[in-house]
Every structure is written in structure tokens, then in C-alpha cells.
Amino acid sequence: MAAGAFRYDGGSVAPGERCNLRYRVGETYLGDPVRIPVTIINGERSGPTVFLSAAVHGDELNGVEVVREVAFEWDLTDLAGTVVCLPVLNVPGFLTQQRYLPIYDRDLNRSFPGNASSTGAKRMAGRIFRNFVEPCDFGLDLHTSTRGRTNMLHVRADTTREAVARLAYAFGASVIVDGAGSDGTLRGEATRAGVPTITVEMGEAHRFERRLIDDALDGVESVFTEFGLQDRGAVRWPGWRAVVTERVWIRAEAGGLVDLHHERGGLVHEGDRLYTITDPFKTDGTSAEAPFTGVLLSVLENPVVAPGNPVCHLAGLDEGTARIVERRAGGR
């Protein structure tokens, strides 16, 4: 917590300074450098160090704008601590608008904490992790759904860890999906390395969605207030909150065209019909019912499916929470 320089391989940022750099994390097939954009804002006052990261999957854009707005539109002159802004981690994927690393044919978000003598993806992940994640006290990693689907804004966090739970609650999302995170993920490996980290999921790939971006910015403001980086008002309360452990992907039982009967973030009750699939002649309709009461974390955007394709992601709610969600929806 003491005020001091933020150091990385090749430089440092003193208290009261801001630095924009393009940091080398790899090379192309031609030997040209792969550089990621990094902005470090080091406050004059002592406080925690937080990283904000986005586009670890190169086509996930909502988080890019969240990180850029914090770095370049917020007034951080009274910052107590340090903010490390990483708007585009997967630069090769971003340039080609692909989810994975096209150079190495790997998922960068399964490559952390990295390894300097392993695959190209793990070497890249290692340089990011060592220089800009490990020096931090906590972090927020921003994501969207993969292409063809869309996510309601929610948080993924290992709430069995007190520091992670505090961070997840401070962000103020209504739904927190509880879990440690898969091996190799940025949030999972950062948390295991002593840097409590949450994933923020919101929206769909390949676009900016202003309402979700604004909601996420509200969450970042709430985190800054909770952890003393800035006083940006009250810590956020979303109106209702559920820590979810029960969830399931509902998959297509037939090929055809999908008619979804509920929207992203919608409440469904056990037994509600979720979708109907029909062929081009609108015959032989196939449908599925909700196996339990819950909220739709993710739904299909592309209405064309084959058997086994995911259609929606249902997270379970207890009946008391479901009644609160239903009352709030009815009041809008």
C-alpha cells in the first residue's frame, strides 16, 4: 500500500505519473514484434494496485471500451493507488477479429500464468502475467460471449476466497457465478497466485453495447470506492443478488431454426418452454422446458442450430430471489 513506483521489465512509473506504452510480448512469423497497449496511472497517494484487462479473446470488444474510458475519460488526479489498464491482451486476435491467437492457434485464456520455455501462447501469457498481473493487489478481467451468443452482465468468481468475494460483491452485479475458474484462465491463475481476480461477462462479440459498457463502468466505480482508490459514491447494490452454483447449458435436440421465447437475463420458471425449433417448412417443431427456475445468463443470437448446439445457459435461483426478480421486472 505504500506509495512507490510501479515497475515492469524495461521501465517504471513513479507516483503522480501516467505512462502509455506498447509492450512487446511476442513476435510474428516475420520476426516483427507483437506489442500490447498498456496504460499505467500511478496516483500520488498510497493505495492498492488494480489491473483492468480486456480482449484476452480478440473479438470481445465491450471490455475494450470500458478499460479505455477508465484510462482516458475518468479524472484520476486524486487516485490513491495504481491502475494498470490492459485494453487488448490478444493483439493478434484483435487485429483479425478472432477469438483465439491466430499465430499460435491457442486460447490465450488457457495459457496463464505462462511459461518462458513453452508454447508461443504461454510465452506471451507469461510476459503479460509477470509484468502487469502479479504486481497487482486485485484485478477485473472483462469478457463477452463468443460469437453467435450474448451474455447478461454477470460476474464469475471463486467466492470461497474472502478477498475474491469482496471484489465480486463490490462490483455490484446481480448474478455471481461461483467457481474457481479453469486451469490457465487469467482470473483463476491470478487468484491462485495471490491476486484476487474476477471475470466480468457482458454482451456479445464484435460490437460495442453502450448500456452494458455503462453498467460495467458503474461496477468499476463501485470497486474503486470499496477499495479506496477513489471516492466515487456509494458501493453499488444491484437490487437483488444471487450467488449461483447450479447452472446448465440447454442444447438443441434437433436441427433447424430457433425461436427463443425469453430474452437474455430473463427469468424463467421450472417447466417454462425455452425455445421451439422448426425446419424450413415450419413443421416438426421441437421444444425444451426449463429444468429449474432461474435466469438466462446467455442466449443464442444466431438462430440456426444443429443437434447439440447450445441454445441458452440457465442459472438457478431460489424461489425467494425469483420472486424479487419477478416483482422488479413487473415494476418496469
Question: What CATH number corresponds to the domain at position 288?
Answer: 2.40.50.100
Q: How many structural domains compose the chain?
A: 2
Does residue 105 carry a pLDDT above 90?
no
Domain annotation covers residue 326: yes
Q: pLDDT-derived band of residue 232, with 50, 70 and 90 as boundaries?
A: confident
* 8 A C-beta contact, residue 41 and residue 136: no
Per-residue pLDDT, 233: 87
Residue 317 sits in the same domain as residue 219: no
The phi, psi pair for 47, rounded to 5°, reads 170, 180
Domain-ending residue, one of 176, 194, 226:
226
* Arithmetic mean of pLDDT, 7-18: 97
- The C-alpha cell at 84 is 494498470
Domain housing 59:
6-226
Q: pLDDT-derived band of residue 103, with 50, 70 and 90 as boundaries?
A: confident
Residue 132 sits in the same domain as residue 13: yes
Please tell me whether the peptide bond between 33 and the residue prior to it is cis, using omega within 30 degrees of 0. no
Q: pLDDT-derived band of residue 332, with 50, 70 and 90 as boundaries?
A: very low
Domain annotation covers residue 239: no
Q: pLDDT-derived band of residue 1, with 50, 70 and 90 as boundaries?
A: low
H/E element holding 220? helix 210-226
- The tens digit of pLDDT for each residue in 132-150 reads 999 999 999 999 999 999 9
Domain annotation covers residue 141: yes
- The tens digit of pLDDT for each residue in 41-57 reads 999 999 999 999 999 99
* 8 A C-beta contact, residue 259 and residue 278: yes
* 8 A C-beta contact, residue 147 and residue 174: no
Domain annotation covers residue 238: no
Residue 222 sits in the same domain as residue 277: no
Residue 213 sits in the same domain as residue 267: no
In whole angstroms, give the CA distance from residue 253 to residue 167.
39
Can you give the CATH number for the domain in which 111 is found?
3.40.630.10
Residue 145 sits in the same domain as residue 39: yes
- The tens digit of pLDDT for each residue in 27-43 reads 999 999 999 999 999 99
Q: pLDDT-derived band of residue 10, with 50, 70 and 90 as boundaries?
A: very high
Among residues of the chain, what percentage have pLDDT more than 90? Answer: 93
Residue 52 sits in the same domain as residue 198: yes
Residue 216 sits in the same domain as residue 88: yes
Domain annotation covers residue 218: yes
- b/e map 255-277, b = 16+ CB within 10 Å: ebebebebebbbbbeeeeebbbb
Residue 10 sits in the same domain as residue 87: yes
Domain annotation covers residue 325: yes
Residue 118 sits in the same domain as residue 264: no
In whole angstroms, give the CA distance from residue 49 to residue 6.
9
pTM of the complete model beyond 0.75: yes
Residue 36 sits in the same domain as residue 166: yes
Does residue 180 carry a pLDDT above 60?
yes
Residue 19 sits in the same domain as residue 63: yes
Per-residue pLDDT, 5: 97
* Arithmetic mean of pLDDT, 321-332: 82
For the four alpha carbons of 276, 279, 282 and 283, in that order, the dihedral sign comes to negative
* Arithmetic mean of pLDDT, 89-109: 94
Mean pLDDT of the chain: 95
Residue 216 sits in the same domain as residue 272: no
Domain annotation covers residue 84: yes
Domain annotation covers residue 96: yes
- The C-alpha cell at 304 is 440456426
